[in-house]
Amino acid sequence: MKLKSLALAASLIRADMDGLPLLEDSGLAYASTVKQVDIDGIEKPAMHACGHDVHVTSLVGAAKQLAARKDEWSGTLVLVGQPAEERTGGAHAMMDDGLYTRFPKPDYAIAFHVAADVPT
């Protein structure tokens, strides 16, 4: 698909990348064995339970495709990996850290979320 000189203005693409306080019991060799101190101060197992690997992979894929076609669009593109999306603390922390003073404030923002219980 050719973008035909698409003007992106200032655009942001966001992917969330948080681990959730759940035990991964898939039995797979690469299953998460990580533990983290949760928001309640208690150490718990952590895993990417709702497709955060898909989110980050899609962000990287979008970045690669846009970079390969940089002669077909203009503007500023900001790519963001957002932590702690499930509990909203990550967005607040990013704003408090100066997201829009350290990086261009976007005219448009794009994000998506996967869900295994919803038809494609």
CB 112 within 8 A of CB 14: no
**pLDDT recorded at residue 95:** 92
**pLDDT recorded at residue 5:** 60
**pLDDT recorded at residue 89:** 82
| pTM, two decimal places | 0.72
What is the block-wise mean pLDDT of the chain (120 residues), using blocks of 10 residues? Answer: 63 84 89 89 86 83 94 90 80 92 91 76
Show which residues are catalytic.
Answer: 16, 86
**pLDDT recorded at residue 54:** 83
**pLDDT recorded at residue 112:** 78
**pLDDT recorded at residue 42:** 94
**pLDDT recorded at residue 115:** 74
